[in-house]
Amino acid sequence: MIQLYHVHKRYPNGVDALVDINMRIREGEFVFLTGPSGAGKTTLIKLLLVMERVTDGQILIGGRNVHVLRDGSIPFLRRNIGVVFQDFKLIRSRTVHENVAVALEILGIPRREVERRVMAILESVGLDNRASHLPSDISAGEQQRVAVARALVNEPAILIADEPTGNLDADLSVEIMGLLLEANRKGTSILLATHDRSLLDRYGLRTQTLNRGFLVEDRPRVDTGRPPTGPIPNVTGSRMSTFSSGGEP
């Protein structure tokens, strides 16, 4: 689903943020991306979202080389990628319902279908009774659940989460992880950047470790006695095909 080949990112000031990164994340996989501050996690995420371009190397998402995408095709790629940020990035003047709905409205989804899908995803994250509230009227944990709902409402093939539990306590972190694991169980491939050692130890998922721009470890998933992650066979079809619709490379 995500493939990086000898990816190098050098900024104009001469700093090498990423050096010769080779990485592959399979369809339906849940992978942690970790490392100390300044390791290159945020840079890698920006490259995947084509917020920045690689200096050298190739990045393939769903089989498409994002390095050669024209600017006009980037929005079509991003429609297949849900993003969850540490600071939520909710629109403060809009309700919970409106914050989630905007992800569908920009795609031109009919209003009735928007309503159905928004209420369904809010119910799944336990926020259907908060639909009319503003972000300032709900807790931090609830705000992060809104951010997760917004990222998932379009049923993305890939979800990228950048420190989604960084501002939450341990109990809320487990709650958010539960939502992400359920999405992964239904077929969404997930890359979660975190420096939280407790998450890595608790879930034992495959972990890619960056340090000073280098990929220094690729630790496979270990058996923690918890339910396995990955899509349920014969329940959801492959989502790879979604990347071929809309826009030209």
Written out in words, the top-level CATH class of the domain with range 1-80+157-234 is alpha beta
CA distance 102 to 89: 13
CA distance 207 to 76: 29
Distance set, CA 226 to CA 213, 222, 229, 237, 246 (Å): 32, 10, 9, 24, 38
Determine the pLDDT at residue 243. 54
Residue 126 has pLDDT above 70, yes or no: yes
Is the Cβ–Cβ distance between 88 and 147 less than 8 Å? yes
Name the segment(s) of the chain with CATH classification 3.40.50.300: 1-80+157-234
Q: Which amino acid is at 110?
A: P
DSSP, res 229: P
Residue 145 has pLDDT above 90, yes or no: yes
* Residue of 181, 215, 192, 211 lying closest to 48 (CA atoms): 192
Determine the pLDDT at residue 229. 53
* Edge-to-edge order in the sheet of strand 2-10: 16-25, 2-10, 56-61, 64-65
Q: Characterize the bridge pairing of strands 158-162 and 30-34.
A: unpaired
Beta strands in the chain (DSSP E): 2-10, 16-25, 30-34, 56-61, 64-65, 81-85, 158-162, 189-193, 206-211, 214-219
Query: pLDDT > 70: what percent of the chain?
Result: 89
Residue range 64-114, pLDDT digits in tens: 899 888 888 888 888 889 999 888 899 999 999 999 999 899 888 999 999
Determine the pLDDT at residue 80. 86
Determine the pLDDT at residue 232. 38
DSSP, res 65: E
Determine the pLDDT at residue 234. 33
| 17 or 37: which leads in pLDDT | 17
**Mean pLDDT calculated for residue range 6-11:** 97
Determine the pLDDT at residue 135. 97
Residue 239 has pLDDT above 70, yes or no: no
Residue range 42-51, pLDDT digits in tens: 999 999 999 9
Band (pLDDT 50/70/90 cuts) for residue 57 is very high
Residue range 186-236, pLDDT digits in tens: 999 999 999 888 899 999 999 999 999 999 999 999 876 655 554 433 333
* Edge-to-edge order in the sheet of strand 189-193: 81-85, 158-162, 189-193, 30-34, 206-211, 214-219
Computed over every residue of the chain, the mean pLDDT equals 88
